[in-house]
Amino acid sequence: MAMTGPLRTERLVLRRWRRSDLEPFAALDADSEVMAQFPSTLESAASDAVAAAADTGTPGEGVGVPSKSAGRQCSNRGCVPP
């Protein structure tokens, strides 16, 4: 089932990805300290592809990885793995 709208609690919002999420997400993916447990950092185009795949979901599952925002301040804070 695809996510049709944001899921909200007092402290958290899970929502679909927005274009405005791509730049801060790319900054996280380019940071060597953030990506220390991953094989490598990602350049902007690769980061955008990860975000697109996360929003689309896995074929057959129909559920993507939502973007995570902090409560009332709805800027991107990362993603929540399935």
Would you write out the chain's pLDDT as a tens digit for each of its 82 residues? Answer: 555 678 888 888 888 888 999 999 999 999 999 999 999 999 999 999 998 888 876 555 555 677 766 655 445 555 555 4
- Calculate the dihedral angle through the C-alpha atoms of 58, 55, 63, 13, rounding to the nearest 10 degrees: 150
Cβ neighbour number for residue 47 with a 10 Å cutoff? 19
CA 74/CA 71 separation, integer angstroms: 6
Matching residue, tokens 């991953």: 38
Q: Find the helix or strand (DSSP H, E) in which 25 lies.
A: helix 19-30
Structural domain boundaries in the chain: 19-79
